[in-house]
Structure 1
Amino acid sequence: MSRKLDGKVAAITGGASGMGRATVMRYLEEGASVAIGDLNAHNGAETLKAAEDAGFADRVIFVRGDVAEEGDVEALVGGAVEKFGRLDIMFNNAGVGGAFGPITETTVEEWDYTFNVLVRGVFLGVKHAVRQMKKQGDGGAVINTASIAGLSGGAGPNAYSAAKAAVHNLTRVTAAELAQDRIRINAIAPGAIRTPLLHSGRAAEMDAIAQDKTPWPVLGEGTDIAGAAVFLASDDSQFVTGHTLVVDGGALAASPNFWGFGADSLFKKHAGMNRGSTGEKSYARDIERK
């Protein structure tokens, strides 16, 4: 049976949980070798073991790092090249929920942290992956995790939505820049996907909100994103670049308003930071009603 990524080498940031982990496993099944990048070493060890238990020990490594730190992104790309000899696919997937709450209650530090992970991290991933791909001289595929929040005003907190909008446009401009090098740059825009980043320990509450706002009768899973990531990494999409592939169960088509606009809106009651599955602590503070 033909595998779509035979002989390819991929690096995946945020690869230790959720959509990233699902994509790691799918890429391995499709014949790729994978360098997993993640800040959470515990999750990284679990993902590495799952891959090894599935018989892929010789085609997978884990490199701990923070995508907002240039040296760490360089180390991930370098680790892939050192172990497997090249880099064909870069999936800039690492993310956090970031700052949430009213814009008047968001601190500069919370805003900057959100953009550092969600935008600077993608910039660094594109930069260093493309440097390696240009050296190789035979093209490559870069995939960025965006979000329907970057395409709508009602699908996420303000800082997160603004950051994901930046990812959408960074994808377009770099696709145009690198087309002559046969390096394709595309994005995936997930909707409500059942991952630790979505529910942050409150799975039942978040599932109820998401299912109420998504036309498809069930929530998306990490494997749904992995399938899209295989398509965008493979030769099946060889003439596709500068594109954002929406994977959201029809949420964007239905004009999402996930969190509401009234006084009882979730993001009008609290402000704080969602650091997702990084292993770092998230927090929320109540907003005083005036």
Structure 2
Amino acid sequence: MDYLKLLAPPAGLRVLITGGASGIGLTIAQAFVSTGARVHVCDVDAKAIDALSTHATGSPSITGTRADVSNKADVTRVFDDVKRELGGLDVLINNAGIAGPTGGIDEIESDDWERTIDINLNSHYYFSSQAVPMLREANGGGVIVFMSSVAGRLGYGFRTPYSATKWAIVGLAKSLAIELGADNIRVNAVQPGIVKGPRMEGVIAARAKQLNISYQEMEARYLEKISLRRMVTQEEIAASVLFLSSPAGSAISGQALSVCGNVETL
């Protein structure tokens, strides 16, 4: 058996990635392209979508749609574009999400709570419900990967709306794995830990401000809670998504895979 071939997704996969024009989503998109996939992304950031066509970050194998993932009409428009650009779908990566507010439960505004639920959870339902009929038509079945978080297996004080959505995503993935297994559609969740990059820098800064300590001290507190004493990279997250979409992951469904350096507590 050629085990090296098992580790790479088959060439020509048709992939949709939400929140895929920057950050982790773009890294995942570029990783799929490196294996010969055709990728369509959606993102609320119009400039990031436009940048996909530039020589620096773009690829002829990546197309995009500007969309608010919490808006049902926008989601429908994304799938219209997917059908036109890709002609079908083999893999859905539900990646879009926001950090949500930082604060005690009695301090969080209801609008901020609801916006976090809309983007981090409801959008996953909107996209999955439209993707499943297309995945059923894919040769050899399909793949759905939900982006959860280590906050989806640990309590996360002062980040309750974010943590609540990430726990819910695990339940959604496990339930859909049962529901769609007979259609040979595998469903899993990836739980990143503290991912190095601008988004985590913003989270650390917000928590440091709340506690009235320096950014450096707050960052050190986060790293002390990780067994490997380091943040994970976007590339490590992308590699885990490729694995779950590859023949090597063909028997894996209904699982929540933590890629976090073993975060012990939050």
**TM-score, structure 1 length as denominator?**
0.80
Superimposed CA distance per residue, residues 235-287 of structure 1 (whole angstroms, 9 cap, x where no aligned partner): 21111111111000111xx2x13xxxxxxxxxxxxxxxxxxxxxxxxxxxxxx
Hey, what does 1:36 align to over in structure 2? 41
Please show how residues 1-290 of structure 1 align to structure 2 within 5 Å. 3-49=8-54, 50-52=56-58, 56-57=59-60, 59-136=61-138, 138-154=140-156, 157-200=159-202, 205=216, 207-251=219-263, 254=264, 256-257=265-266
Superimposed CA distance per residue, residues 60-101 of structure 1 (whole angstroms, 9 cap, x where no aligned partner): 101110111122222223322211211100000011001221
* Structure-2 separation of matches of 1:172 and 1:165: 11
> AA paired with 1:12?
I
SS at structure 2 position matched to 1:73: helix
* Structure-1 separation of matches of 2:158 and 2:188: 21
> Residues 48, 144 of structure 1: CA spacing in aligned structure 2 closer, same or farther, 3 A cutoff?
farther
* Structure-2 separation of matches of 1:84 and 1:65: 18
Superimposed CA distance per residue, residues 118-173 of structure 1 (whole angstroms, 9 cap, x where no aligned partner): 10011112111112112446410000000111111137711111111110101111
SS at structure 2 position matched to 1:153: coil
State the identity as a percent.
Answer: 28
Tell me how large the CA RMSD over aligned residues is. Answer: 2.0
Shift of 1:105: 1.2
* Structure-1 separation of matches of 2:53 and 2:222: 30
> AA paired with 1:20?
G
Shift of 1:201: 8.5
**Which consecutive unaligned segments of at least 5 residues does structure 1 have?**
258-290
Shift of 1:19: 0.9
Q: Is the 8 A contact 1:214 1:249 kept in 2?
A: yes
SS at structure 2 position matched to 1:246: strand
Q: Is the 8 A contact 1:17 1:47 kept in 2?
A: no
> AA paired with 2:240?
A
**99-108 vs 22-31, greater mean Cα deviation:** 99-108
* Structure-1 separation of matches of 2:47 and 2:135: 30
> AA paired with 2:34?
E
Q: Is the 8 A contact 1:175 1:185 kept in 2?
A: yes
> Residues 192, 183 of structure 1: CA spacing in aligned structure 2 closer, same or farther, 3 A cutoff?
same
Q: Is the 8 A contact 2:24 2:238 kept in 1?
A: yes
> Residues 74, 156 of structure 1: CA spacing in aligned structure 2 closer, same or farther, 3 A cutoff?
farther
SS at structure 2 position matched to 1:120: helix
Superimposed CA distance per residue, residues 167-219 of structure 1 (whole angstroms, 9 cap, x where no aligned partner): 01011111100000111111000110013221129776464443232221331
> AA paired with 2:253?
T
* Structure-2 separation of matches of 1:90 and 1:135: 14
Runs of 4+ in 1 over 4 A off after TM superposition: 201-207
SS at structure 1 position matched to 2:191: strand
Q: Is the 8 A contact 2:10 2:35 kept in 1?
A: yes
